[in-house]
């Protein structure tokens, strides 16, 4: 009898909390959450030497943040640093770092802690793409994809998360991809690395939740192809539902998601619908939908980043 009462009590508590959570979600669907103030926060962005990382650095700086830039491309990273300073930001620091190398990540992380201080918002943005069919992709390139797109997240979390936990304040941002949600023809190694990054970030979020580390926030970003040059030549079969994203638009949406402390940010919003369909539709219908959206052929004309003369 006592067991039945405890089970009933547990069920009622679950239903009550679930109802409150649902009502809260509905309210925030119509009334956006207020954006948090990040003035004075120290933000570290990997892959900041160009593209999305550079845009995010500029946007964070405009909000009064201390910006730490990491990129393997020293020239590009210094250019980002100069552009950030031109916005009036006085505290911006550029470090050359190969995020695929664990020892180098730890070494440069220690340097940042000494010279700048603890990082409060970590944006794992660095990424590479081979754009080759699985059997045509050299082993070393596949390993490099995992080292940059996924393993680097392990090392940066290990380096900066302990201080966030100690201070009960921090935000972990994983720039995954729509290719971290669905498999894409011609992107086997990239998809695998982005699925891994997504799963890792989600798992660490669950760990912090279970351990009641409420001051540690997580945002996982999954954008479709962005016109940064990384996916040069990629196409979409349905621009209305699945457009190739403008970099400024993508950066703005990502920043909004971070400032509103959203766990998931899918860009465009049609990705939420696509993921819902993936969960419920028969396989044949999913394949027909992928064909209609042009996902099967999106990499056919891929040329990759243009090399500078």
Contact between residue 95 and residue 53 where contact means Cβ atoms under 8 Å apart: no
- DSSP letter at 268 equals S
Residues contacting 112, CB < 8 A, separation 6+: 44, 68, 93, 95, 119
How many separate helices (H) and strands (E) can be counted in the chain?
Answer: 10, 7
From CA 243, how far away is CA 250, in angstroms rounded? 11
* Among 190, 264, 272, 297, the one annotated catalytic: 190
* 241 phi and psi angles, rounded to 5 deg: -90, -30
**121 - beta bridge partners?**
43, 171
> Helix, strand, or coil here: 301?
coil
Phi-psi region of 212 (alpha: psi -120 to 50; beta: other; left: phi over 0): left
Contact between residue 58 and residue 83 where contact means Cβ atoms under 8 Å apart: yes
From CA 210, how far away is CA 231, in angstroms rounded? 38
Segment (H or E) for 220 = strand 216-223
Q: Is 297 one of the catalytic residues?
A: no
Q: And the tokens for 88?
A: 């009036």
**70 - beta bridge partners?**
46, 95
From CA 160, how far away is CA 162, in angstroms rounded? 6
Closest CA to 142 of 160, 128, 154, 155: 128
Active site residues: 190
């Amino acid at each position: 009898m006592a067991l039945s009462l405890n089970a009933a009590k547990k069920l009622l508590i679950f239903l009550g909390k679930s109802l409150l959570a649902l009502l809260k979600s509905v309210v925030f669907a119509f009334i956006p959450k207020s954006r948090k103030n990040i003035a004075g926060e120290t933000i570290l962005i990997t892959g900041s030497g160009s593209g999305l990382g550079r845009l995010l650095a500029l946007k964070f700086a405009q909000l009064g943040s201390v910006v730490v830039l990491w990129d393997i491309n020293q020239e590009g990273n210094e250019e980002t640093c100069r552009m950030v300073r031109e916005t009036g930001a006085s505290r911006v620091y550029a470090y050359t770092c190969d995020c695929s190398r664990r020892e180098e990540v730890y070494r440069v992380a220690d340097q940042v802690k000494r010279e700048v201080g603890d990082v409060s918002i970590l944006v794992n943005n660095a990424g590479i793409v081979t754009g080759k069919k699985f059997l045509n992709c050299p082993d070393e390139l596949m390993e490099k994809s995992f080292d940059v797109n996924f393993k680097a997240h392990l090392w940066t979390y290990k380096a900066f998360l302990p201080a966030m936990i100690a201070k009960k304040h921090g935000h972990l941002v994983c720039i995954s991809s729509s290719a971290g949600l669905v498999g894409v023809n011609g992107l086997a190694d990239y998809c695998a690395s982005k699925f891994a990054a997504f799963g890792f970030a989600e798992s660490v979020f669950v760990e912090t939740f279970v351990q009641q580390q409420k001051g540690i926030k997580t945002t996982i970003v999954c954008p479709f192809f962005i016109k940064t040059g990384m996916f040069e030549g990629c196409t979409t079969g349905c621009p209305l539902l699945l457009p190739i994203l403008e970099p400024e638009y993508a950066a703005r949406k990502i920043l909004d998601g971070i400032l509103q402390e959203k766990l998931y940010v899918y860009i465009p919003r049609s990705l939420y619908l696509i993921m819902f369909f993936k969960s419920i539709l028969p396989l044949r219908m999913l394949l027909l939908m992928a064909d209609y959206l042009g996902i099967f052929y999106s990499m056919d004309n891929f040329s990759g980043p243009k090399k500078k003369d």
